Structure 1
Amino acid sequence: MSDSGKGKRRLVADRRYNAKASAPAKKPAPAKPAKKKARKPARARSRNPIVAFFGGLLRLIGRIVWVVTSRVALVALLLVGLWVGYTYTQLPPAAEMLDGRAKGSVTLYDRNGEVFAWRGDQFGGVVTADSVSRHLKHAVIATEDRRFYWHLGISPRGIASAIRINLSEGRGPLQGHGGSTITQQTAKLLCLGVRFDPDIWETEAEYVADCRKTSLARKAREAIYSLAMEAKYSKDEILSIYLNRAYLGAGAYGAEAAAQRYFSKPAALLTPAEAAMMAGLLTAPSTLAPTNDLARSQNRANVVIGLMEDQGYLTAAEAREARANPATLSQAAERRTGGYFADWVMDTLPPFADISSREDVEITTTLDPRLQAAAEAAMTNVFEAKVREGSKAQAAIVVMSADGAVRAMVGGRKLGVSGVFNRATQAKRQTGSAFKPFVYATALELGYSPYDTVVDEPFCMNIPGSGQWCPENYTRNYAGRVSLTDALKRSLNIPAIKISESVGRDLVARVATDFGIDSRVVDTPSVALGVSEASLLEMTGAFAGILNGGSSVAPYGITRLRYQGDDDPLLDKAGGIGERVIQEEAARQLVFMMEKVISEGTGTRAQLDGRPAAGKTGTSNEQRDAWFVGFTADYVAGVWMGYDDNTPLTGVTGGGLPAEIWREAMLRVHDGLPVRELPMAVPPRPQPQVQQQPQRQPQPQRRQRQNDPVGDILNQVLRDLFGN
């Protein structure tokens, strides 16, 4: 065998792995980190001299700011603490802060002794957080400050939220929502401890307005005062002050006054629904007051009930009960607006007894609530049934006794309102033919008889400086010879003018003025046609003088006035009858003539179904005013109708709608009263004879007048011109 194969390599398979793999196992070397992108070391970056300089500068400024602000904050806290401490020492005991009322309220009672109206600010008795209904306490906290028992007097969260809301609504940061706690609101009610000083503020209203101003400086003072109150008083003492001083609408300050004002009950007895309504008033007391808008007040109360339920003050069942039975005004509260009558009484108060006197006044008035309701119902019924929808025509009613005691007053179609234009007392309008009874009263006083005659015919007269004047009757027809009674019942113009000129228009003006027409009676021949102006109250009072036998009356609404707490009255009035104007016989004959107006003449639509009544219709120039004024043996009533802007009435005369309103009112006024005869005298009929002009009877005795030679001569000249 050959050894030629020696020295050759062994035939083996090619290596599939790295030679290192076949090497003996060695301890694995630590894994090298993956190579990263080369970065410049941080130390290398900071070495940029510019960056390093500014970085160090910023750090230095930061240290300086911290040192300064921390020191300033400490100083500020120290100053605030000192300020709070000083304010703390100035605060009086909580009991002295409960009742800060300013006197000057007026309480009005009707003739039955029941309160029917309040004027001025009303304050009830002092209450505490423990003495009021727990529902009221919870409602106020739930509505105004849910964290009241946990904060220290101010709520940064609430302030921040209020600023955010104000800015989002486009207002200034301090305009609108205030984010105030109950403590802050109490501080504001206390005017931050500043008392009213007449040397600084002319009126208390200016003082209050100044207290309510909002600014950053005042907010800061308010916060300090609040912190001091929190330190001085307990939470319930602060809440008690708030409940006594908060304004709750309708002139009521404090929980007790508001509870009595709206619900005629003490604050301790309020139900959840009533408490929710009162707490809801705190945001907008005048707007939300139930006397102003009951439905709106109830809607707000529902929101408060929801808050009380959410915060655990009411169970779900109690909340449902409160929503199902919303609070309503008591019957007494509903009628305590006082309306037009209360406004008139306030206007007639003597200076020592009005609101500005800063004394609490109690007034007993002549108002009869039954008659007031009768007048209001008559107004409503006639306008609903007889006046076209949308009409702007207005009306007024006055009802009074024969001595001038005003028993009811309606000053316009809108009822149950106060502080508005009173057409019964403030509107001065032409009286039209309603003035004619004063013409005939003058004639009767001078001796004329209701059966004397005068010729109704076309008539003209020259008026110096104005030329010829030719008046006409309303119908433009003429009746020929008529008695004074027929002339009045048919409201003929020509006979009235002739009689007025015959007796002397100056005497006619004097009689009208003496009967109570305070407005100036014009001295022209047209005075007999009622061109002079008067208020409805004046006209009704003047007719009361005819009813009572010829004596003047001063319409009045106050029978007794005293300061609250005093037994001795400042004013005690038994009646308003004044001096005699015409003799009683003349007055009784005039009543006879005026009775014919209703039974046979222009006022037949005012008939009272068998009850004797007398009165007079009146329609002014161009039908701008329509009147009916009349009386029974018990009451006098006057009705005026027209437009506030003097627009002529369409198809309305005194014998129309005013007479119907008068009838509706008087039927209700006399409901249940016995029928009484009118105090009238039926004169004997004269024997038939031919007369060309009214014949004067022998002049009866009458009240003495001052001698007036010039007037006597003028009267004689007029009689020569127009006949006796």
Structure 2
Amino acid sequence: MSDSRKGKRPLVADRRYPKKATKKPVRKAPTKRRKAAPKKPQRNIFVRLFRWVMRLICWVTWRVGLTVTAAVALAVGYFWTTLPDVNELLDGRARGSVTLLDREGDRFAWRGDQFGGAVMADTVAPGLKNAVVATEDKRFYRHFGVSPRGVASAVRINLREGRGPLQGHGGSTITQQTAKLLCLGVEYEPSEWESEAAYVADCRRGSLQRKAKEAIYAMAMEAKYSKDEILSIYLNRAYMGGGAYGTEAAAQRYFGKSATDLNPSEGAMIAGLLTAPSRMAPTSNLQRSQERAATVLRLMGEQGYLSDAEVAKWQQTPANLSPAARRKAGGYFADWVMSTGPEFFTRNTTEDVIIRTTLDQRLQTAAEDALKEVFETKVREGSKAQAAIVVMSADGAVRAMVGGRETRVAGVFNRAIQAQRQTGSAFKPFVYAVALELGYSPLDFVDDEPLTLDIPGSGRWSPRNYTNTYSGRVTLTKALAESLNIPAVKVSESVGRDLVRRVATDFGIDGDMADGPALALGASESTLLDMTGAYAGILNGGSSVTPYGLIDLRLQGDDEPLMGTGGGIGERVIREQAARELIWMMEKVVSEGTGVRAQFGGREIAGKTGTTQAARDAWFVGFTADYVAGVWMGYDDNTPLTGVTGGGLPAEIWRETMLRIHEDVPARPLPLQVPERAKRQAAPAPAPQPAPRQKEVPRTTEGLIEMLVRDILGGGRSR
């Protein structure tokens, strides 16, 4: 019997899960041993450390940012509370202005800080408003007072150009520039600052701390005011060159119109001044200002304010100055008028002042053109010689004044009023005025012959004539006409130097008079203005004259003047008859004597030449029936003139000036008086009449001799 279990598998329970097949490890070729990777626990430490540092930075940054934001908010809030009403910020000048009007009431000069009146951004000409925004801050209406993009761009440009990050371009917005104009709320107090310039320099500081404060102040302004209100402050306070503060003053100064009436070309020119007001001012360089305006117009086109056609149109028709601004006349005159008024209403005024003056702009231009023409045509090129001109009416009202060859200037040395120069023979009319006042006749005789005087303390003095010749017995009229020195000294010594000195002083020649006999020859010094005024006294009949240029002064907006003129005709110095006879003598100077070059147009002219010792000064002062004019020529350093006398170039400058002045002015005779003896000499000889029968011609020798002596003596007296 066989065993049934043989060859059978044992009874074993099946595995629930099949056994995975295992692969025999495959032997790999040996490789280079690589650096063991850091253990996992170490990697986790660095990650956790990095995350902790980042969380710390975020935690600190968040809290610092929150703190800074809170601090900025508090600072903005503080400045917000200090900002006044916008209307109080429109005029921020530390001093007032002076506007000078000519005799017709037209503006011709400005002094001080000119402010034409407040304007608002929504009332000025659109061309001006858009030009300012396009030039200064094209994102003005989109930022909150500070433009990070603008700052970053400015820093990049500065670094690229080799400057510091805050040097050069600032990236300031209009709001920041306005904050700077307000000096971040610090008002000017004269007692706290060395000068106004020091205050302005402090306001313009560009330190990092200052920039931060400026940004905060700008944000406070953005919170307090609207965009147009901020722009209005800027338009009213920005300096525009030429002493003009604000766009209204600039519009009036350069174009003679309001800022509301400007066209795009004029608005672009004013906007172009903001980068460099003094250098870009059209009164300084019109072409440069027009080129800058063309750039502004291009920017306006790029930003959509103007079409391409409009840009081309206004670039082709650039803005031009008004006639008054273009002439820029009367700078010397304006400076003189400012010096004659009270300082608290002129140089140091805190108000806006209007001064009406005697200036005639036509006459002023005539004098400037005459001086220019003579120096260009009759003076050697490169000459440093100077000249001055004063024109006035017989009452002392100054109509024109030129204080030097550079006529388009202001605030410089004025040779017409500041140069004290020896008068030379131009002083002689006052010597003869005394003689005529004492009863001398213009036809009285004086000997022109060698003369020597003993002067106590100085020794012997022998005056000589300019020609070093002698004319013998001459009339007072001929002595003056030919400017003979010895007769003038003799007359002065005869009538008394003290009297000559007093009459000259009463006529307005101010200054120390010479003590010796050289007084008669003009050894004393005077200004051209005083000499011209003294001659005006002769023309008006012998009364003193105080030259004046100020007619009245009033505050802007007032109708009643605060003060009137301080000059005009004063007290009588010599009799009217003596003055008229002196005019007759001075007319002979021009018609027959040393002043013949002053003749023009067949008019009656009276005057006197003057040349000082060594020709350091040359004068011609004279008048027609309408105007008195004086001309001085010389060097500032007293260098002698070469080949120039008073009857030469000064007389020609005088003639060219008066020729232009008298255009379309009817000729009038001078108020002169011809001496009776001169009338008799000029009268035609009467027809011979038969001798009366009752009188017989003496037949004796004694009778003939007696008649001859009588005729000779009578003839001598008639000459």
Could you tell me the TM-score, scaled by structure 1's length? Answer: 0.86
- The Cα shift of 1:124 comes to 2.1
Match of 2:414 in 1: 422
1:337–1:418 contact (8 Å) kept in structure 2 = no
Matched-pair contact (CA < 8 Å) for 1:104–1:355: no
Correspondence 1:188 to 2:180: yes
Q: Which residue of 1 aligns with 2:139?
A: 147
2:487 matched residue in structure 1: 495
Q: 2:82 aligns with which of 87, 90, 93?
A: 90
Show the 5 A alignment for 1:256-655: 256-335=248-327, 338-573=330-565, 576-655=568-647
Among candidates 142, 150, 162, match of residue 154 of structure 2: 162
Q: Which of 33, 36, 41 is the matching residue for 2:36?
A: 41
Q: What is the DSSP-based 3-state SS (H/G/I as helix, E as strand, rest coil) of the residue aligned with 1:454? A: strand
Aligned partner of residue 439 in structure 1, secondary structure? helix
C-alpha deviation, 1:108, in angstroms: 1.3
Unaligned runs of 5+ in 1: 1-27, 696-724
Distance, in Å, in 1 between the alignment partners of 2:520 and 2:446 is 15
How far has the Cα of 1:337 moved from its partner?
Answer: 5.4
Q: CA deviation at 1:201?
A: 3.5
1:176 Cα deviation (Å)? 3.4
Q: Determine helix, strand or coil for the equivalent of 2:593.
A: coil
**1:214 aligns with one of 177, 192, 206:** 206
Tell me which of 112, 117, 128 is aligned to 1:125. Answer: 117
TM-fit CA distance, 1:86: 1.9
Q: CA deviation at 1:277?
A: 0.5
> What is the alpha-carbon distance in structure 2 between the residues aligned to residue 522 and residue 98 of structure 1?
58
The alpha-carbon distance between structure 1 residues 467 and 229, as it changes in their structure 2 partners (threshold 3 A), is same
**One-letter code of the match for 2:663?**
D
Q: Hey, what's the Cα distance between the residues in 2 that align with 1:167 and 1:620? A: 65
Change beyond 3 A, Cα 1:463–1:273? same
1:133 Cα offset (Å): 1.6
1:217-260: per-residue Cα shift (whole Å, max 9, x none)?
22221111101111222222211211121111112111222112
Distance in 2 between the 1:633 and 1:249 partners?
43
Amino acid at match of 1:107: T
2:217 aligns with: 225
Number of positions where the alignment pairs a residue of Structure 1 with one of Structure 2: 663
> Quick one: structure 1 residues 76 and 431, their matched pair in 2 at CA, closer, same or farther if it must change by over 3 Å?
same
Displacement after TM superposition at 1:169 (Å): 5.1
The alignment partner of 1:357 has SS state of coil
Could you tell me which of 100, 104, 109 is aligned with 1:108? Answer: 100
* Counterpart residue type for residue 458 of structure 1: P
Change (3 A) 1:574 1:554: closer
Q: Compared with structure 1, are the counterparts of its residues 468 and 45 closer, same or farther at alpha carbon in structure 2 (3 Å cutoff)?
A: farther
| Matched letter for residue 512 of structure 2 | R
C-alpha contact (below 8 Å) 1:118/1:337 kept by paired residues? no
In structure 1, the partner of 2:704 is none
Q: Which deviates more, 348-357 or 181-190?
A: 348-357
CA pair 191-442 structure 1, distance change in 2 beyond 3 A: same
Q: 1:671 aligns to what SS in structure 2?
A: coil
RMSD value, Cα: 3.0
In structure 2, the CA distance between the partners of 1:75 and 1:659, relative to structure 1 (3 Å rule), is: same
**1:677 corresponds to:** 669
SS class of match (1:443)? helix
Structure 1 counterpart SS, 2:401: strand
**Farther off after superposition, 419-428 or 484-493:** 419-428
SS of aligned partner of 1:241 = helix
1-structure distance, mates of 2:461, 2:590: 31
Distance in 2, Cα, partners of 1:396 & 1:673? 24
C-alpha separation in 2, matches of 1:93 and 1:574: 43
Structure 2 unaligned spans of 5+:
1-22, 679-709
Rounded to whole Å, the distance in 2 between the matches of 1:60 and 1:466 is 106
The amino acid across from 2:310 in the alignment is E
Between the aligned partners of 2:101 and 2:447, the Cα distance in structure 1 is 53
**Partners of 1:690 and 1:528 in 2: CA distance:** 32
User: 1: distance between equivalents of 2:295 and 2:26?
Assistant: 73
Contact 1:118–1:338 under 8 Å retained in 2: no
Q: 1:46 to 1:485 in 2, by over 3 A?
A: farther
| Identical amino acids, percent of aligned pairs | 68
Give the distance between the partners of 1:478 and 1:35, measured in 2 at CA.
139
Does the 8 A contact of 2:548 with 2:566 survive in 1?
A: no
Aligned to 1:718: none
Per-residue deviation, residues 40-88 of structure 1 (Å, max 9, x unmatched):
133179979xxx9999999877765554444323212211111112222
Amino acid at match of 2:107: V
What secondary structure is seen at the aligned counterpart in 2 of 1:522?
Answer: coil
1:644 Cα offset (Å): 2.0
Would you say the 8 A contact 2:329–2:407 is kept in 1? no
Query: In structure 2, how many angstroms separate the alpha carbons of the residues matched to 1:34 and 1:109?
Result: 110
2:698 corresponding residue in structure 1: none
Q: Out of 536-545 and 186-195, give the one that drifted further.
A: 186-195
In the aligned structure 2, how far is the partner of 1:542 from the partner of 1:580? 12
Go from structure 1 to structure 2 and tell me whether the alpha carbon gap of 1:582 and 1:170 turns closer, same or farther (over 3 Å shift).
farther
